[in-house]
Structure 1
């Protein structure tokens, strides 16, 4: 009998010995895999720092260029380039081969880019607060967690903060797929010279939150913003029909209130849960799972084409029959696809209105530029609010 056959027979008679041998082999393989992971981690670490060093060099070149120009209006170089970041993130998703999903991979790169931008120039971002709102989540999604996000009390405050230069950019909600347009944001553009430089689309997932000390069996109150309560009405009717629903100024405020109350719960998003250290008793309780809010990024500079862009304009029309049809004809004639249109009163004029129009394409595109030029002689005024990359994530 050979030595190998003898071993096999021995292991057959002694299954414990075979199991021990298999376990040892599995452990060796695990150790090899962990060693490989450590090696890859080291390489990733080095490459991320290499990218950061290149970002620092970009910052140096930009500063030196501004110094050479010596123009007062350009003393602050532009470090954040929305079109460039959109192109990078789209490229990440296009070349991704898995097993990590495209969007998750892009989110990883989003955070790397955020940290690198922070090395170039720390970004102060104003958003409609308080902390923990969906606008806060949109700001973090767009700029990454390395950005310095600062809550503002009102949408008007966000505009003022960016206009004054105290914040580089602002994030404001503009429309919800279930609840419609946010009029305060549209009105903000009527009295502001700020431009739209980007957009964020955020799926709105509502969570039922409790604190560590909450007595779930004794709930008497559920806090949330009135829109969130409306978006979860059916779920609440089924699960907590007899608990009082209290509308507050924001979901962040709803989450904050649980700190000092043992008989209350809140409805809010993931950012609020993390910010206030709350437990998600139930997740995704919204009645409409496809509910999405669109946010706008406002700033001062014009944005170059990214390849997949939108343009927003505001048009002050003459008070006459068929005015809107006249405005829309040039878009159709030049093959420009309109994605949305909203109407707002033109203050302080009585019974006068302006139209906010979003369209596909960039102002530098020949057809978009031609369509807007054809609209100008038909109206009292037309202003381009901005051309900017379509939401990538």
Structure 2
């Protein structure tokens, strides 16, 4: 049998495009019907369901047979789901800004581009906007694989009733950016966020040891500064380069190729189990020897895997230790329930921060 001609292959692609468009609109119609059912049965209906979306995206990756890889296909479905959800309710999502930050990128990765992304200047502002109901959800960084935890995020939970309802893992690539008027051979300063400068320390020491490193509030702010400066460069991500019209002089200058930042989604409601979940709690311990041992012991006894333990200075003389703990499982799981019951016997207080799906994409 003769191989199909170029024209025949293009005709097949056109036919499949027609089918895809029809199926996407059928899916969108069903999403509208779901909204109607929810509104008819519940006046305070919740349209965004993190556990449901995580389950759908997991199935997408599991059934994928290529040649597109599972991550790519899941991101395509992420955008379809985002557009369909916007037909039910267009959500407002706050993020640590300005536009072009990695937190902005994480928000779009998790929610898709059909949400209204609201840029705010500080982590505590994101918490306040979600608490007030001005936005439905917020996205804030919580830890980096190179530089560790983001203390402002952990501290914000001490005074907040918000819940963690999702997480995003974002591979971080830093690029050296130049502005339209930058003279490459006369660069005397480099702008970037303090953590970014730390994550690129070895590259900067090797390639630009005499150039001044100036810490600013965000990588996007660093990128914006280049508009009127001829002797400066910035370190930021590809999104900032595109947004502010900058040239990438050197790609991927981070010291560790696996440099990853974890972001969390904060909201006002609890999230049902998705089947592959994590839980976060805050534990206040009594002032006595072996406090950390008594915190960790129930996890070992009930075979619950810890993923992170951090301690923070207490804000009150009543607390000697405040531990932030992430672990595998959902609050509704029997083993997790037994761990929490055991901790209640040892701790002054336990605050449940949320059970939520593990990051899928």
Residues in 2 aligned to 1:229 and 1:378: alpha-carbon distance in whole angstroms: 41
Distance 1:297 1:123 in 2: 13
What is the match of residue 170 of structure 1? 138
Query: In structure 2, how many angstroms separate the alpha carbons of the residues matched to 1:108 and 1:390?
Result: 19
Relative to 1, partners in 2 of residues 1:76 and 1:256: Cα closer, same or farther, differing over 3 Å? farther
SS of equivalent to 1:76: coil
Q: 2:125 — aligned with what?
A: 157
Alignment correspondent of 2:163: 195
1:216 and 1:55 map into 2 onto residues whose CA distance is 52
Measured after TM superposition, the shift of residue 351 of structure 1 is 6.6
Matched, 1:82 2:50: yes
- 1:177-256 pair list within 5 angstroms: 177-256=145-224
2:21 maps to 45
Q: In 2 relative to 1, CA 105–235 (structure 1 residues): closer, same or farther, beyond 3 Å? A: same
The alignment partner of 2:341 has SS state of helix
Alpha-carbon offset, residue 272 of structure 1 = 1.0
Deviant stretches of 4+, over 3 Å: none
Q: Residues 32-66 of structure 1, C-alpha deviation per residue, up to 9 Å, x if partnerless? A: 11111111111111111111111111111111111
Task: Measure the CA separation in 1 of the matches of 2:245 and 2:31.
Answer: 34
TM-score when scaled to structure 2?
Answer: 0.96
Which of the pair has more CA radius of gyration? 1
Unpaired segments ≥5 residues, structure 1: 1-24, 67-74
Residues 96-125 of structure 1, C-alpha deviations (whole Å, 9 max, x = no match):
111111111111111111111111101101
**2:282 alignment counterpart:** 314
2:285/2:319 contact within 8 Å kept? no
Report the equivalent of 2:248: 280
Whether the aligned pair in 2 keeps the contact of 1:114 and 1:143 (CA below 8 Å) is yes
SS in 2 for 1:241: coil
| Post-superposition CA distance 1:336-390 (Å, at most 9, x none) | 1111111112212277221111110000100001110111121111111100000
Higher helix share: 1
Shift of 1:239: 2.3
Q: Is the 8 A contact 1:136 1:271 kept in 2?
A: no
Please list the CA deviations of residues 14-48 of structure 1 after superposition, one character each: whole Å capped at 9, or x if unmatched.
Answer: xxxxxxxxxxx99x811111111111111111111
TM-score normalized by the length of structure 1: 0.89
Give secondary structure in 2 for the equivalent of 1:369: helix
Alignment of 1:350-389 (within 5 A): 352-389=320-357
Structure 2: how far apart are the matches of 1:142 and 1:111?
Answer: 10
RMSD in angstroms over aligned alpha carbons?
1.5
Q: Deviations over 1:204-235 (max 9, x none)?
A: 11011123333223322221111111111221
Equivalent position SS for 2:253: coil
Secondary structure class of the residue paired with 1:151: strand
